Amino acid sequence: MMMKRTLFILTLFLLLYGCRNSYELSMERGEYYYNAGAYENATLEYKSVINYYPQNIGLLDEKTIHMLANAHHNLAVIYLKRSTQTDDGIKKSSFLEEATAEAKRAYNLYPKDAYKETWDSITLLSK
């Protein structure tokens, strides 16, 4: 009886603490779609992560802030890629605007050199 109870408690503990939340899985799906070139699907996944969390980052732990910054950065890269794939000047400008905003958000959330480099690259292309 004691062994079954211990096994049950251990299993319950692993289920509760060993699983990633749905937003971590959305990040993984976003990366999968991005690598497959399915930018629309990747965008939806990244936006679902961003929209879930509050705007007040003071309420978030460091891991979540890093995940959010990465989602914003990945969106910036997607918008940048999409801007290079269109000949329509209005769409190109719109994609570059979105890319700039997302790169800025990523860097402001977590000031990482790679995020700043992306932001700078987008800014140069926007001129």
- Identify whether the C-beta of residue 72 lies closer than 8 Å to the C-beta of residue 109: yes
When divided into structural domains, the chain yields a total of: 1
SS3 category, 33: helix
- Identify whether the C-beta of residue 74 lies closer than 8 Å to the C-beta of residue 30: yes
What's the domain range around 111?
A: 22-126
pLDDT tens sequence for the chain (127 residues): 556 666 555 554 444 444 557 788 889 999 999 999 999 999 999 999 999 887 777 788 899 999 999 999 999 999 999 999 999 999 999 999 999 999 999 999 999 999 999 999 999 888 7
Evaluate whether residue 70 is within a structural domain. yes
What is this structure's pTM?
0.81
SS3 category, 61: coil
CATH assignment of the domain containing 57: 1.25.40.10
Q: What is the 3-state secondary structure (H, E, C) of 103-125?
A: HHHHHHHCCCHHHHHHHHHHHHH
Cα gap 102→43, rounded to integer Å: 12
